[in-house]
A and B are shown apart, each in its own frame.
Chain A
Protein backbone atom coordinates (compact mmCIF):
# COMPACT_ATOMS: atom_id res chain seq x y z
CA UNK A 1 0.00 0.00 0.00
CA UNK A 2 1.32 3.37 -0.91
CA UNK A 3 1.96 5.96 1.73
CA UNK A 4 0.00 9.16 1.91
CA UNK A 5 1.15 12.63 2.79
CA UNK A 6 -0.16 13.60 6.23
CA UNK A 7 -0.31 17.13 7.56
CA UNK A 8 -1.44 17.85 11.11
CA UNK A 9 -1.27 20.63 13.64
CA UNK A 10 -0.10 19.01 16.87
CA UNK A 11 0.11 21.15 20.00
CA UNK A 12 0.20 24.31 17.90
CA UNK A 13 2.95 23.12 15.54
CA UNK A 14 2.47 22.14 11.90
CA UNK A 15 3.85 18.67 11.32
CA UNK A 16 4.07 16.57 8.17
CA UNK A 17 4.93 13.02 7.40
CA UNK A 18 4.31 10.00 5.22
CA UNK A 19 2.12 7.22 6.52
CA UNK A 20 0.13 4.29 5.28
CA UNK A 21 -3.58 5.10 5.58
CA UNK A 22 -4.00 2.16 7.96
CA UNK A 23 -1.58 3.71 10.46
CA UNK A 24 -3.40 4.37 13.71
CA UNK A 25 -3.09 7.91 15.02
CA UNK A 26 -1.58 6.67 18.31
CA UNK A 27 1.24 4.95 16.40
CA UNK A 28 1.85 8.00 14.20
CA UNK A 29 2.05 10.27 17.26
CA UNK A 30 4.32 8.00 19.27
CA UNK A 31 6.53 6.43 16.64
CA UNK A 32 6.76 9.02 13.86
CA UNK A 33 6.37 12.25 15.82
CA UNK A 34 7.88 10.93 19.09
CA UNK A 35 4.99 12.44 21.02
CA UNK A 36 4.74 9.79 23.71
CA UNK A 37 2.30 11.41 26.14
CA UNK A 38 -0.71 9.51 24.80
CA UNK A 39 -0.32 5.90 25.90
CA UNK A 40 -1.32 2.59 24.37
CA UNK A 41 -3.32 0.88 27.09
CA UNK A 42 -5.94 -1.65 26.05
CA UNK A 43 -5.71 -0.86 22.33
CA UNK A 44 -9.40 -1.80 22.05
CA UNK A 45 -11.09 1.62 22.63
CA UNK A 46 -11.99 0.87 26.23
CA UNK A 47 -9.40 2.40 28.52
CA UNK A 48 -8.92 5.96 27.24
CA UNK A 49 -5.15 6.11 27.89
CA UNK A 50 -4.65 7.13 24.25
CA UNK A 51 -7.14 10.02 24.42
CA UNK A 52 -6.16 13.11 22.45
CA UNK A 53 -8.13 16.23 21.56
CA UNK A 54 -9.01 16.41 17.85
CA UNK A 55 -10.67 19.61 16.63
CA UNK A 56 -12.25 20.15 20.05
CA UNK A 57 -13.33 16.57 20.67
CA UNK A 58 -11.88 13.95 23.02
CA UNK A 59 -11.02 10.97 20.84
CA UNK A 60 -9.32 7.62 21.40
CA UNK A 61 -6.34 7.72 19.06
CA UNK A 62 -6.04 3.91 19.02
CA UNK A 63 -9.35 3.79 17.14
CA UNK A 64 -8.57 6.52 14.62
CA UNK A 65 -6.67 6.18 11.36
CA UNK A 66 -4.20 8.93 10.70
CA UNK A 67 -5.86 9.28 7.29
CA UNK A 68 -9.13 10.29 8.96
CA UNK A 69 -7.53 13.20 10.82
CA UNK A 70 -5.39 14.51 7.97
CA UNK A 71 -5.62 18.30 8.30
CA UNK A 72 -6.87 18.28 11.90
CA UNK A 73 -5.77 20.22 15.00
CA UNK A 74 -4.60 17.83 17.69
CA UNK A 75 -3.73 18.49 21.31
CA UNK A 76 -1.98 15.93 23.52
CA UNK A 77 -1.06 16.17 27.19
CA UNK A 78 2.22 17.78 26.11
CA UNK A 79 0.20 20.70 24.72
CA UNK A 80 -1.52 21.40 28.03
CA UNK A 81 1.49 22.93 29.79
CA UNK A 82 1.73 26.68 30.28
CA UNK A 83 3.54 28.71 27.62
CA UNK A 84 6.70 28.81 29.76
CA UNK A 85 6.75 25.02 29.98
CA UNK A 86 5.53 24.82 33.59
CA UNK A 87 2.66 22.50 34.47
CA UNK A 88 -0.80 23.64 33.40
CA UNK A 89 -3.62 23.91 35.93
CA UNK A 90 -4.94 20.37 35.41
CA UNK A 91 -1.45 18.89 35.50
CA UNK A 92 -0.63 20.83 38.68
CA UNK A 93 -3.89 19.80 40.36
CA UNK A 94 -3.39 16.13 39.50
CA UNK A 95 -0.03 16.39 41.27
CA UNK A 96 -1.40 18.40 44.19
CA UNK A 97 -4.34 16.03 44.82
CA UNK A 98 -2.45 12.84 44.12
CA UNK A 99 -4.64 12.17 41.08
CA UNK A 100 -2.26 9.45 39.94
CA UNK A 101 -0.38 6.51 41.31
CA UNK A 102 1.42 4.70 38.49
CA UNK A 103 0.54 7.50 36.07
CA UNK A 104 -0.15 5.37 33.02
CA UNK A 105 -3.74 6.60 32.58
CA UNK A 106 -2.89 10.20 33.48
CA UNK A 107 -2.20 11.70 30.02
CA UNK A 108 -5.58 10.42 28.81
CA UNK A 109 -7.29 11.54 32.01
CA UNK A 110 -5.90 15.06 31.79
CA UNK A 111 -6.55 15.45 28.07
CA UNK A 112 -10.15 14.31 28.54
CA UNK A 113 -10.63 16.49 31.63
CA UNK A 114 -9.36 19.48 29.62
CA UNK A 115 -12.21 19.11 27.10
CA UNK A 116 -14.75 18.39 29.85
CA UNK A 117 -13.90 21.68 31.59
CA UNK A 118 -13.98 23.57 28.29
CA UNK A 119 -17.54 22.38 27.78
CA UNK A 120 -18.67 22.52 31.39
CA UNK A 121 -16.56 24.92 33.51
CA UNK A 122 -18.57 24.19 36.68
CA UNK A 123 -19.18 20.44 36.74
CA UNK A 124 -20.74 18.69 39.72
CA UNK A 125 -19.00 15.58 41.06
CA UNK A 126 -21.57 13.46 39.23
CA UNK A 127 -20.94 15.33 35.96
CA UNK A 128 -17.18 14.80 36.35
CA UNK A 129 -17.66 11.07 36.90
CA UNK A 130 -20.03 10.80 33.91
CA UNK A 131 -17.74 12.92 31.72
CA UNK A 132 -14.68 10.84 32.64
CA UNK A 133 -16.42 7.49 32.10
CA UNK A 134 -14.30 6.72 29.02
CA UNK A 135 -11.06 6.66 31.02
CA UNK A 136 -10.04 3.77 33.23
CA UNK A 137 -7.55 3.89 36.13
CA UNK A 138 -6.42 0.49 37.40
CA UNK A 139 -4.75 1.94 40.50
CA UNK A 140 -8.35 2.70 41.60
CA UNK A 141 -7.48 6.33 42.04
CA UNK A 142 -10.79 7.76 40.86
CA UNK A 143 -11.55 9.66 44.08
CA UNK A 144 -8.46 11.81 43.76
CA UNK A 145 -8.86 12.18 40.01
CA UNK A 146 -12.31 13.65 40.60
CA UNK A 147 -10.91 15.94 43.30
CA UNK A 148 -8.13 17.10 40.99
CA UNK A 149 -10.57 17.96 38.22
CA UNK A 150 -12.91 19.71 40.60
CA UNK A 151 -10.01 21.75 42.03
CA UNK A 152 -8.88 22.61 38.49
CA UNK A 153 -12.35 23.92 37.69
CA UNK A 154 -12.25 26.17 40.78
CA UNK A 155 -8.78 27.42 39.95
CA UNK A 156 -9.56 28.08 36.27
CA UNK A 157 -12.75 29.92 37.22
CA UNK A 158 -10.80 31.98 39.77
CA UNK A 159 -8.22 32.90 37.13
CA UNK A 160 -10.99 33.87 34.72
CA UNK A 161 -12.64 36.11 37.32
CA UNK A 162 -9.33 37.74 38.23
CA UNK A 163 -8.72 38.50 34.55
CA UNK A 164 -12.09 40.20 34.13
Chain B
Protein backbone atom coordinates (compact mmCIF):
# COMPACT_ATOMS: atom_id res chain seq x y z
CA UNK B 1 0.00 0.00 0.00
CA UNK B 2 2.48 2.59 -1.20
CA UNK B 3 1.09 5.62 -2.99
CA UNK B 4 2.38 6.92 -6.31
CA UNK B 5 5.21 9.43 -6.05
CA UNK B 6 4.65 13.18 -5.77
CA UNK B 7 6.50 16.42 -5.16
CA UNK B 8 5.85 17.76 -1.68
CA UNK B 9 5.19 21.44 -1.00
CA UNK B 10 4.76 23.17 2.35
CA UNK B 11 3.86 26.81 1.59
CA UNK B 12 3.77 29.37 4.42
CA UNK B 13 0.81 31.43 3.26
CA UNK B 14 -2.42 31.12 1.31
CA UNK B 15 -1.17 33.11 -1.69
CA UNK B 16 1.81 30.77 -2.19
CA UNK B 17 -0.44 27.72 -1.88
CA UNK B 18 -2.79 29.09 -4.55
CA UNK B 19 0.23 29.88 -6.72
CA UNK B 20 1.30 26.22 -6.58
CA UNK B 21 -2.25 25.08 -7.46
CA UNK B 22 -2.31 27.49 -10.42
CA UNK B 23 1.07 26.37 -11.65
CA UNK B 24 0.27 22.66 -11.61
CA UNK B 25 -3.49 22.65 -12.26
CA UNK B 26 -5.05 19.19 -12.12
CA UNK B 27 -1.73 17.71 -11.04
CA UNK B 28 -1.84 19.40 -7.61
CA UNK B 29 -4.00 18.84 -4.54
CA UNK B 30 -4.00 20.29 -1.06
CA UNK B 31 -3.65 18.10 2.01
CA UNK B 32 -4.80 19.03 5.52
CA UNK B 33 -4.88 16.14 8.05
CA UNK B 34 -4.75 13.67 5.18
CA UNK B 35 -6.90 11.02 6.81
CA UNK B 36 -9.33 10.97 3.88
CA UNK B 37 -6.77 11.66 1.14
CA UNK B 38 -3.87 9.40 2.19
CA UNK B 39 -5.99 6.21 2.31
CA UNK B 40 -7.21 7.05 -1.21
CA UNK B 41 -3.61 7.63 -2.34
CA UNK B 42 -2.52 4.31 -0.82
CA UNK B 43 -5.26 2.55 -2.78
CA UNK B 44 -4.08 4.49 -5.87
CA UNK B 45 -7.59 5.86 -6.22
CA UNK B 46 -6.04 9.31 -5.94
CA UNK B 47 -2.78 10.23 -7.66
CA UNK B 48 -1.25 13.64 -8.04
CA UNK B 49 2.11 15.00 -9.07
CA UNK B 50 2.13 17.71 -6.41
CA UNK B 51 0.90 17.59 -2.84
CA UNK B 52 0.41 20.97 -1.17
CA UNK B 53 0.56 20.60 2.63
CA UNK B 54 -1.36 23.41 4.37
CA UNK B 55 0.03 22.80 7.87
CA UNK B 56 2.43 25.78 7.94
CA UNK B 57 -0.18 28.39 6.99
CA UNK B 58 -1.11 30.32 10.15
CA UNK B 59 -4.01 32.10 8.42
CA UNK B 60 -5.81 28.73 8.32
CA UNK B 61 -5.59 28.15 12.05
CA UNK B 62 -7.44 29.23 15.16
CA UNK B 63 -10.91 29.34 16.69
CA UNK B 64 -12.45 32.79 17.28
CA UNK B 65 -15.53 32.95 19.45
CA UNK B 66 -17.33 36.27 19.05
CA UNK B 67 -20.66 37.36 20.55
CA UNK B 68 -22.57 36.72 17.31
CA UNK B 69 -20.17 34.76 15.09
CA UNK B 70 -17.78 31.87 15.61
CA UNK B 71 -14.96 31.56 13.08
CA UNK B 72 -13.04 28.35 12.55
CA UNK B 73 -9.82 28.18 10.56
CA UNK B 74 -9.91 25.36 8.03
CA UNK B 75 -6.92 23.63 9.68
CA UNK B 76 -8.56 23.45 13.11
CA UNK B 77 -8.59 19.76 14.08
CA UNK B 78 -11.52 17.82 15.50
CA UNK B 79 -9.44 17.48 18.68
CA UNK B 80 -9.15 21.27 18.93
CA UNK B 81 -12.91 21.63 18.41
CA UNK B 82 -13.52 19.17 21.24
CA UNK B 83 -11.08 20.74 23.70
CA UNK B 84 -12.03 24.40 23.10
CA UNK B 85 -14.13 25.41 26.10
CA UNK B 86 -15.30 28.75 24.69
CA UNK B 87 -16.59 26.99 21.59
CA UNK B 88 -18.39 24.37 23.68
CA UNK B 89 -20.28 27.17 25.47
CA UNK B 90 -21.08 29.16 22.31
CA UNK B 91 -22.12 26.20 20.08
CA UNK B 92 -22.20 22.93 22.08
CA UNK B 93 -23.43 21.05 19.00
CA UNK B 94 -19.94 21.17 17.46
CA UNK B 95 -18.23 19.31 20.32
CA UNK B 96 -21.09 16.83 20.51
CA UNK B 97 -20.70 15.97 16.82
CA UNK B 98 -16.88 16.06 16.72
CA UNK B 99 -16.72 13.47 19.51
CA UNK B 100 -18.60 11.07 17.26
CA UNK B 101 -16.19 11.37 14.33
CA UNK B 102 -13.75 8.49 13.73
CA UNK B 103 -11.49 7.71 16.71
CA UNK B 104 -9.06 9.67 18.94
CA UNK B 105 -6.02 9.29 16.67
CA UNK B 106 -7.94 10.49 13.62
CA UNK B 107 -9.44 13.42 15.57
CA UNK B 108 -5.96 14.73 16.48
CA UNK B 109 -5.16 15.31 12.82
CA UNK B 110 -8.49 15.39 10.96
CA UNK B 111 -9.50 18.98 10.25
CA UNK B 112 -12.85 20.71 10.05
CA UNK B 113 -11.86 22.25 6.71
CA UNK B 114 -10.98 18.88 5.21
CA UNK B 115 -14.17 17.36 6.57
CA UNK B 116 -16.41 19.99 4.95
CA UNK B 117 -14.41 20.54 1.75
CA UNK B 118 -13.93 16.92 0.72
CA UNK B 119 -17.59 16.51 -0.20
CA UNK B 120 -17.81 12.98 1.19
CA UNK B 121 -21.51 12.37 1.95
CA UNK B 122 -20.46 10.27 4.95
CA UNK B 123 -18.67 13.14 6.71
CA UNK B 124 -20.47 14.60 9.73
CA UNK B 125 -19.49 18.27 9.52
CA UNK B 126 -21.25 19.18 6.24
CA UNK B 127 -24.73 18.38 7.58
CA UNK B 128 -23.85 20.01 10.87
CA UNK B 129 -22.72 23.19 9.09
CA UNK B 130 -25.94 23.25 7.07
CA UNK B 131 -27.96 22.94 10.28
CA UNK B 132 -25.96 25.82 11.80
CA UNK B 133 -26.26 27.87 8.58
CA UNK B 134 -22.48 28.29 8.34
CA UNK B 135 -20.68 30.12 5.55
CA UNK B 136 -17.49 28.82 3.92
CA UNK B 137 -14.80 31.25 2.83
CA UNK B 138 -12.85 30.32 -0.29
CA UNK B 139 -9.63 31.89 -1.57
CA UNK B 140 -8.56 31.55 -5.16
CA UNK B 141 -6.63 33.29 -7.94
CA UNK B 142 -9.45 35.84 -8.30
CA UNK B 143 -9.69 36.66 -4.61
CA UNK B 144 -12.03 35.57 -1.85
CA UNK B 145 -15.67 34.59 -1.95
CA UNK B 146 -18.19 33.20 0.49
CA UNK B 147 -20.57 30.30 -0.11
CA UNK B 148 -23.32 29.20 2.26
CA UNK B 149 -22.93 25.62 3.50
CA UNK B 150 -26.48 25.02 2.30
CA UNK B 151 -25.40 25.93 -1.30
CA UNK B 152 -21.98 24.26 -1.26
CA UNK B 153 -22.70 20.59 -1.96
CA UNK B 154 -23.56 19.52 -5.53
CA UNK B 155 -23.03 15.74 -5.52
CA UNK B 156 -20.74 13.20 -3.86
CA UNK B 157 -17.25 14.77 -3.88
CA UNK B 158 -18.49 17.67 -6.04
CA UNK B 159 -18.79 21.05 -4.35
CA UNK B 160 -18.94 24.73 -5.27
CA UNK B 161 -15.17 24.97 -4.67
CA UNK B 162 -13.13 25.42 -7.86
CA UNK B 163 -9.93 23.37 -8.33
CA UNK B 164 -7.66 26.34 -7.70
CA UNK B 165 -9.54 27.50 -4.62
CA UNK B 166 -8.78 26.67 -0.98
CA UNK B 167 -11.44 26.60 1.71
CA UNK B 168 -9.90 28.87 4.33
CA UNK B 169 -12.42 29.64 7.08
CA UNK B 170 -15.87 28.74 8.30
CA UNK B 171 -18.09 31.31 9.98
CA UNK B 172 -21.06 30.24 12.02
CA UNK B 173 -23.77 32.43 13.56
CA UNK B 174 -24.03 31.78 17.32
CA UNK B 175 -27.52 30.38 18.01
CA UNK B 176 -29.52 32.53 20.42
CA UNK B 177 -29.86 31.47 24.04
CA UNK B 178 -32.93 29.31 24.38
CA UNK B 179 -32.05 27.35 21.24
CA UNK B 180 -31.49 23.67 22.05
CA UNK B 181 -29.05 21.67 19.92
CA UNK B 182 -28.42 17.95 19.46
CA UNK B 183 -26.49 15.59 17.20
CA UNK B 184 -27.53 11.95 16.96
CA UNK B 185 -25.54 9.42 14.97
CA UNK B 186 -26.14 5.74 14.36
CA UNK B 187 -23.00 3.86 13.31
CA UNK B 188 -22.10 0.20 13.14
CA UNK B 189 -18.94 0.58 15.21
CA UNK B 190 -16.48 3.16 16.50
CA UNK B 191 -14.82 4.98 13.63
CA UNK B 192 -17.58 4.22 11.15
CA UNK B 193 -19.46 6.72 9.05
CA UNK B 194 -23.10 7.24 9.95
CA UNK B 195 -25.82 4.85 8.89
CA UNK B 196 -27.87 7.97 9.59
CA UNK B 197 -27.15 11.11 11.59
CA UNK B 198 -29.29 14.12 12.49
CA UNK B 199 -28.32 17.66 13.51
CA UNK B 200 -31.12 19.65 15.11
CA UNK B 201 -31.50 23.17 16.52
CA UNK B 202 -34.83 24.26 17.97
CA UNK B 203 -36.10 27.08 20.20
CA UNK B 204 -37.39 30.68 20.21
CA UNK B 205 -39.87 29.76 17.47
CA UNK B 206 -37.07 28.74 15.10
CA UNK B 207 -35.67 25.38 14.02
CA UNK B 208 -33.10 23.90 11.66
CA UNK B 209 -32.75 20.24 10.73
CA UNK B 210 -30.09 18.51 8.61
CA UNK B 211 -29.14 14.88 8.04
CA UNK B 212 -25.99 13.02 7.02
CA UNK B 213 -25.18 10.07 4.73
CA UNK B 214 -28.72 9.65 3.46
CA UNK B 215 -28.18 11.11 -0.03
CA UNK B 216 -25.16 12.02 -2.17
CA UNK B 217 -25.02 15.37 -0.33
CA UNK B 218 -26.00 16.40 3.20
CA UNK B 219 -29.72 17.17 3.40
CA UNK B 220 -31.00 20.35 5.02
CA UNK B 221 -34.75 20.62 4.63
CA UNK B 222 -36.55 23.94 4.77
CA UNK B 223 -39.99 22.33 5.12
CA UNK B 224 -38.80 19.96 7.87
CA UNK B 225 -37.21 22.92 9.66
CA UNK B 226 -40.30 25.11 9.46
CA UNK B 227 -42.56 22.25 10.60
CA UNK B 228 -40.39 21.81 13.67
CA UNK B 229 -40.29 25.56 14.28
CA UNK B 230 -44.09 25.38 14.49
CA UNK B 231 -43.88 22.49 16.97
CA UNK B 232 -44.97 19.82 14.47
CA UNK B 233 -42.54 16.95 15.12
CA UNK B 234 -44.38 14.43 12.95
CA UNK B 235 -44.54 16.94 10.09
CA UNK B 236 -40.80 17.55 10.46
CA UNK B 237 -39.97 13.83 10.34
CA UNK B 238 -42.21 13.19 7.37
CA UNK B 239 -40.82 16.17 5.42
CA UNK B 240 -37.28 14.95 6.10
CA UNK B 241 -38.10 11.39 5.02
CA UNK B 242 -39.34 12.88 1.74
CA UNK B 243 -36.14 14.91 1.33
CA UNK B 244 -33.58 12.13 1.87
CA UNK B 245 -32.63 9.67 -0.86
CA UNK B 246 -30.59 6.82 0.66
CA UNK B 247 -29.20 3.96 -1.40
CA UNK B 248 -28.70 0.35 -0.31
CA UNK B 249 -25.12 -0.53 0.65
CA UNK B 250 -23.28 -2.47 3.34
CA UNK B 251 -24.95 -0.28 5.99
CA UNK B 252 -28.33 -1.68 5.01
CA UNK B 253 -31.23 -1.55 2.57
CA UNK B 254 -33.16 1.63 1.83
CA UNK B 255 -36.08 0.74 4.13
CA UNK B 256 -33.70 0.23 7.06
CA UNK B 257 -31.91 3.51 6.41
CA UNK B 258 -35.19 5.41 6.34
CA UNK B 259 -36.20 3.73 9.58
CA UNK B 260 -32.90 4.65 11.25
CA UNK B 261 -33.13 8.18 9.83
CA UNK B 262 -36.51 8.68 11.52
CA UNK B 263 -35.24 7.25 14.82
CA UNK B 264 -32.14 9.48 14.81
CA UNK B 265 -34.16 12.54 13.90
CA UNK B 266 -36.77 11.94 16.62
CA UNK B 267 -34.07 11.38 19.23
CA UNK B 268 -32.21 14.52 18.19
CA UNK B 269 -35.41 16.59 18.23
CA UNK B 270 -36.32 15.23 21.65
CA UNK B 271 -32.92 16.08 23.14
CA UNK B 272 -32.73 19.47 21.46
CA UNK B 273 -36.19 20.38 22.78
CA UNK B 274 -35.22 19.32 26.31
CA UNK B 275 -32.13 21.51 26.10
CA UNK B 276 -34.13 24.46 24.74
CA UNK B 277 -36.16 24.70 27.92
A43-B1, A46-B191, A58-B104 given as contacts; is B8 within 8 A of A63 (CB)? no
Contacts between the two chains (Cβ within 8 Å), count: 81
B106 contacts A134, CB within 8 Å?
yes
Contact A22 B5 (CB under 8 A): yes
Which interface residue of A45, A57, A132, A133 has the most chain B CB atoms within 10 A?
A45
A residues near B31, Cβ cutoff 8 Å = 68
> B51 within 8 Å of A by Cβ?
yes
How distant is the Cα of A68 from the Cα of B6 in the complex, in angstroms? 13
B2 contacts which of A24, A48, A67 (Cβ < 8 Å)? A24
Interface residues of A in 23-79 (CB under 8 A from B): 24, 27, 43-46, 48, 51, 57-60, 63-65, 67-68, 70
| CB of B55 within 8 Å of the partner chain | yes
* Set of chain A residues within 8 Å of B1, measured between Cβ atoms: 43-44
Is the Cβ of B51 less than 8 Å from the Cβ of A21?
Answer: yes
Decide if A163 is an interface residue (CB 8 Å cutoff): no
Tell me which residues across on chain A come within 8 A of B109, comparing CB atoms: 57, 59, 64
Query: How distant is the Cα of A43 from the Cα of B3 in the complex, in angstroms?
Result: 12
> What 0/1 pattern do residues 88 to 114 of A give for CB contact below 8 A with B?
000000000000000000000000100
Residue A20 is within 8 A (CB to CB) of chain B in the complex: yes
State which size class the interface on B falls in.
20 to 34
Measured CB to CB, the closest approach of chain A to B12, in angstroms, equals 13
A44-B39, A133-B191 given as contacts; is B106 within 8 A of A60 (CB)? yes
Residue B235 is within 8 A (CB to CB) of chain A in the complex: no
Q: Does A121 contact B (CB under 8 A)?
A: no
- B103 adjacent to chain A (CB < 8 Å): yes
- Counting CB contacts under 8 A, is A155 at the interface? no
Q: Does A18 contact B (CB under 8 A)?
A: no
Q: Which residues from 99 to 141 on chain A have a C-beta closer than 8 Å to any C-beta of chain B? A: 112, 116, 130-134
The interface centre, meaning the residue of B8, B34, B55, B190 with most chain A CB atoms within 10 A of its CB, is B8
Minimum C-beta distance from A26 to chain B (A)? 10
Cβ A63 vs Cβ B38 within 8 A: yes
Is B4 located at the chain interface by the 8 A CB criterion?
Answer: yes
Q: Which of B41, B105, B108, B190 has the most CB of A within 10 A?
A: B105
CB contact between B6 and one of A21, A24, A70 (< 8 Å): that residue? A21
> Is A1 among interface residues, defined by CB-CB distance under 8 A?
yes
Any B CB within 8 A of the CB of A4: yes
On chain A, the residues within 8 Å of B105 by CB distance are: 45, 48, 51, 58-60, 112, 134
16 further A-B contacts with Cβ under 8 Å, apart from A57-B109, A63-B38, A133-B104, are: A22-B3, A22-B6, A22-B41, A43-B42, A45-B38, A45-B106, A51-B105, A57-B108, A58-B105, A58-B108, A59-B105, A64-B34, A64-B38, A65-B38, A67-B8, A131-B104
